Structure 1
Amino acid sequence: MHAHPGDWLVIKGVRVDLPEQRGQIVAVGSPEGSPPFTVHWLADDRISTVFPGPDSVVLTGAELAARDEADRTRFERSSALRHDGKGTFRART
């Protein structure tokens, strides 16, 4: 895993009640961009040193924005559907 300052570290939530964590990488451990990363976390405004695990991904700002937009689109599409109680979905009328 490699990153540059300004990239985003996203750690997937491993349970439904544990949401993903996002933080902006402010420093990397080597000139090649390998861990550990110094991360400024959005949720609680703290800064910590992280050795990312397999549940983590590094995204550029543009990749994160594209992912958020895809998530919004998927949510809007699913909100426009209604479960009919018979195991299928149909468009709301």
Structure 2
Amino acid sequence: MKANKGDWVIVRGHQVGEPTRKALILDVHGHDGEPPYVVRWDDGHESTYYPASDAVIEQHAPSGAHG
């Protein structure tokens, strides 16, 4: 998994009714975009995060990108 500062980590709920969690990547500590990531979760807390197989990266579109 590779990500950049400003991308989002999306973690889907594991059970019916469990919400999807979203975190903004504030910093990338691994080599060449690899984890660990410093993230700010949608509830406001920050943590160091190592994504599991249930996580996906949503790439941040650069300013001026069309799509």
The interval holding the TM-score normalised by the smaller chain is 0.7 to 0.9
TM-score (norm 2): 0.83
**Corresponding residue for residue 33 of structure 1:** 33
**Corresponding residue for residue 73 of structure 1:** none
Moved over 2 A (4+): none
Deviations 1:11-57 (A, max 9, x none): 11111121110010001122401001111111x10000111000000
For the residue of structure 1 that corresponds to 2:32, the secondary structure is coil
**Corresponding residue for residue 65 of structure 1:** none
For the residue of structure 2 that corresponds to 1:61, the secondary structure is coil
Name the structure where helix makes up a greater proportion of residues. 1
Deviations 1:49-81 (A, max 9, x none): 11100000001134xxxxxxxxxxxxxxxxxxx
Q: Which amino acid aligns with 1:61?
A: H
Rg (Cα) greater in structure: 1
**Corresponding residue for residue 81 of structure 1:** none
Count of aligned positions: 61
For the residue of structure 2 that corresponds to 1:57, the secondary structure is strand
- Structure 2 spans left out of the alignment, 5+ residues: 62-67
Q: Which amino acid aligns with 2:45?
A: R
**2:53 aligned with 1:54, yes or no?**
yes
TM-score (norm 1): 0.61
How far apart, CA to CA, are the structure 1 residues paired with 2:45 and 2:54? 20
